[in-house]
Structure 1
């Protein structure tokens, strides 16, 4: 039996991020996605929903007000760019409160909370372990377009002041973003090796105490990152 999910967010890109995160899990079914609370209300009337990802700042009706209006709401995880609403969210008995941009690791912890609650309620057993054969995607804004990138294709990410360069095997993209934000979004296969570089550990072909080689290029290892880089690479070599 699948856990049935509804996603409610007025930003289509935010919906796509959640969808792609959820595709990494077994026993979770995305029933529908909506951009307004009114649309979500119709879905809840017509279909069984076990978990709702709910944005707070939406047109016409805020997510918190929408949740208050429901007599028997499903489990709710708030997703918002505004951390100041966290207390209000938990007062409404939300399972969790995710502040955008949401890292996959943080998302996994929220899903684990829901599955444990659902197990207690239904007597069924679920797991929050992601399926190994599923792909994870990242969305970047590049030249007024939104580009979908398979995270498994990334070699490294380089900081360029207020921008970052995301390097793949056959191309690269530059987007306005801080490297620290992307670091939070990336899965555990990536490691920060320098204040200006994050690399995909499985893509590293050789390494020294002061540098790693990846994609035919040598990237420096910062002094403050050396111990963690050495530990991660020893495990994978």
Structure 2
């Protein structure tokens, strides 16, 4: 597995310590350096090969937004901040995700998943998919007062309806009252993708796609307008 070289930029020691600890839990990540402000980070970026930057926004000397404007060919960035004021402005830069402090570990992992989806080479994604089958070959969902096993390799797509969710497998459907958002959090990002407010699809089952829809096992799944850019970018990389 190719290591992702990471840089932490934050003036708060506690925030740096938490991110260091999170990074140490993920085998794929390798911490190159930590910096206390944007000026220090600027120097590191000139000398080191960095794949991913965890960047605070409000810092002395040179803040996060100023660093984004200053560095040409900035590596992908995950913003880590206590302020949500800059969320909209940040996406004009190479920002993968916007994490609000305090950052839960599961939300940190979700951001790493987004990075993988956008920037991992297709070969690395395939390797990660194989690993995901081995480590998480199935999930359980509650349906008709019992817990039902759902093999991930057979999961075509999940559709969110008014009061329930329909899980569509190769050979059957399962109805559950869990939310579609809960499935988005639970399913491996390298294998599944949210393409519409009402649909999550299994990437390995996609036969064809256009700007507006995905063809999947003789079904046409719409691509939501707000999801379109990410979906096209993701599918064209695989």
TM-score w.r.t. the length of structure 1 is 0.51
Q: Map 1:17-36 onto structure 2 (within 5 A).
A: 17-36=18-37
Aligned to 2:55: 54
**Equivalent residue runs for 1:1-237 within 5 Å:** 1-120=2-121, 123-125=123-125, 127=128
CA-based RMSD: 2.4
Secondary structure of the 2:112 match is helix
- Note closer, same or farther for the CA distance 1:16–1:127 as it changes in structure 2 (3 Å cut): farther
Residues 90, 97 of structure 1: 8 Å contact kept:
no
Q: CA deviation at 1:127?
A: 4.6
Higher relative CO (Cα under 8 Å, sequence separation at least 6) belongs to 1
Contact 2:75–2:94 (Cα < 8 Å) also in 1? no
Distance 2:39 2:101 in 1: 23
- Give the match's secondary structure for 2:91: helix
1:50/1:75 contact within 8 Å kept: yes
Unaligned runs of 5+ in 2: 136-185, 187-238
SS at match of 1:83: coil
Report if aligned partners of 1:115, 1:127 keep a CA contact under 8 Å in 2.
Answer: no
What SS class does the counterpart of residue 61 from structure 1 fall into? coil
- Deviation of residue 123 (structure 1)? 4.2
Partner Cα separation in structure 2 for residue 102 and residue 16 of structure 1: 12
The 1:103–1:123 alpha-carbon spacing in structure 2 relative to 1, beyond 3 Å, is: same
Residue by residue, what CA displacement relative to the aligned partner does 1:62-114 show, whole Å, maximum 9, x if unpaired? 20111111111100000000011111112223100001001111111101011
Instruction: Give a deviation string over 1:125-161, Cα, whole Å, max 9, x none.
Output: 375999x9xxxxxxxxxxxxxxxxxxxxxxxxxxxxx
Aligned structure 1 segments of 4 or more residues deviating by more than 3 angstroms: 125-130
Q: 1:127 to 1:79 in 2, by over 3 A?
A: farther
In structure 2, how many angstroms separate the alpha carbons of the residues matched to 1:123 and 1:18? 28
